Structures are given as C-alpha cells and as structure tokens.
Amino acid sequence: MVENKTEISVEALRAGDREEFSRLVENYSGPIYRLALKMLGIPMEAEDVLQNTFLKAFKHLKEFEGRSSLSTWLYRIASNEALMILRKHRPETTFSDTEPEGDDNSGYSPAQFADWRHLPETEFLTSESQAAMDKAVQNLVESQRIVFILRDIEGLSIQETGQVLNLSEAAVKTRLLRARLHLREELSTYYGERLEKRRKE
C-alpha cells in the first residue's frame, strides 16, 4: 500500500512530530481514499472516510502498540469508517452477520461462459467499462466487498486482510472466492455483450 517507500517512524509519530504525521498522511491517503471510494462509490462519503481515518489515527496514535503494521492499523480504521457509513446511510444493504459462513459453494454455479479475454485492450480502458467494473464491486455484499478490495485492489495478503477485519484466514478465503466468482460473472455478462456486439459489426 505504501506509495512512498520511506519508513515512517512510529516513535516520531508518538512524540507528536507533525512533519512525520504529514508524511504518514502523504503516504497513505491515496490507498485510503481509493478503498473508501471503491467501497462506497460516492466521492463525498469517501472524503469523509479519508478525513475521519486520519483524525482518528492522530487521536489514537498513543494506543498504537505496533502489534500490526501501520498500514494494517490505518486500513482497519478506514474499513470501520466505511462500514459505519454504509450502515448509517444504506441500512437496506446486506451485512456480514446475515451472510452464511462455511466454504459451501453449492448455492453458486457459473452461468456465463463467454471467453471475452481477447477483446482489444481498448475495450477494458473505456470509462464505461471502468464504471461497469466499479458498479460490479458495489453490487457485492459488503462483507465480500471489503475483503475483495483489501486483497485484490489494495494487494494485501490473505493474512493481512484477516488482521484488518479481525477475521480468520478461512473466512477471508471464503468471502474472497465468492466475491471473485460473482465479479467474474458480472464482468462476463458485460464484456460478453461487448464481444457479441463486435462480432455483429
């Protein structure tokens, strides 16, 4: 997640070094904003998450014990902030406590078998296709969405994702698999139609 690889000093942060805190903000604001935007889809809400994450981080720096990395800690604050906004503003969304657990995938079968991988690269770069991809993420159940964003967009490991969300590795894997299969299905519908359209042209 670190954009600028220079090590941030936790001691300096704890000692109230403002310059070090500004470096923390500089390094991590990009990933935090991206996570919030992918999670919520609304720039104004993403900005709230961004600001609240660093306000809370600043307030609780003294409690940071270094048992996890700084990035894991920040991702945890940001994830909680984003989930809180979802619960407050979109209470109709399905939440993690209603999601069935276990690794049983019997309820799901792939239905789209278009092989759209070889569409010209330009097809994947249009703003329309980017919007379709973002929409597909936002259609995920929130407990799968946050796992997918942390693992496949932010590039955290399974273990780190579990640390951020306080989940077992098995639970992360189950949610990740469901999210990925669901997204594959949605992208196959979208790009499958693009493929069909090209064939007809």
Partner 1 sequence: MTPLDHSKCQTLLGSLSEYVDGTLSEELCEEIDRHIAECQNCHIVVDTLRKTISLYHESAAETGVVPAVVRERLFRTLNLDDYLQH
The answer to whether 162 and 171 have CB atoms below 8 angstroms apart is yes
Residue 12 as a binder of partner 1 (CB under 8 A): the answer is no
Cα distances (Å, whole numbers) of residue 142 to 4, 72, 79, 90, 147: 30, 19, 11, 11, 9
Give DSSP secondary structure letters for 100-138: --SS--TT---------TTS-HHHHHSHHHHHHHHHHHH
Token reading at 43:
């720039």
Token reading at 96:
């993690």
Binds partner 1 (CB under 8 A): choice among 106, 120, 122, 200: 106
CB of 29 to partner 1, least distance (A): 5
Q: Which segments of the chain does DSSP mark as H helices, in order?
A: 10-14, 18-40, 43-60, 70-89, 121-125, 127-138, 142-148, 158-165, 169-200
Residue 42 as a binder of partner 1 (CB under 8 A): the answer is no
Binds partner 1 (CB under 8 A): choice among 34, 64, 96, 189: 34
Binds partner 1 (CB under 8 A): choice among 130, 139, 166, 168: 130
Residue 141 as a binder of partner 1 (CB under 8 A): the answer is no
Rounded to an integer, what distance in angstroms lies between the CA atom of residue 28 and that of residue 63?
19
CB of 6 to partner 1, least distance (A): 15
Q: What is the largest CA-CA distance in the chain?
A: 66
Residue 69 as a binder of partner 1 (CB under 8 A): the answer is no
Binds partner 1 (CB under 8 A): choice among 17, 21, 64, 69: 21
Binds partner 1 (CB under 8 A): choice among 84, 126, 155, 196: 155
| Window 177-196: residues binding partner 1 (CB under 8 A) | 177, 180-181, 183-184, 187-188
- Contacts with partner 1, residue ranges (CB under 8 A): 3, 18-19, 21-22, 25-26, 29-31, 33-34, 37-38, 43, 47, 50-51, 54-55, 58, 103, 105-106, 108-110, 113-117, 124, 130, 133, 137, 148, 152-155, 173, 176-177, 180-181, 183-184, 187-188
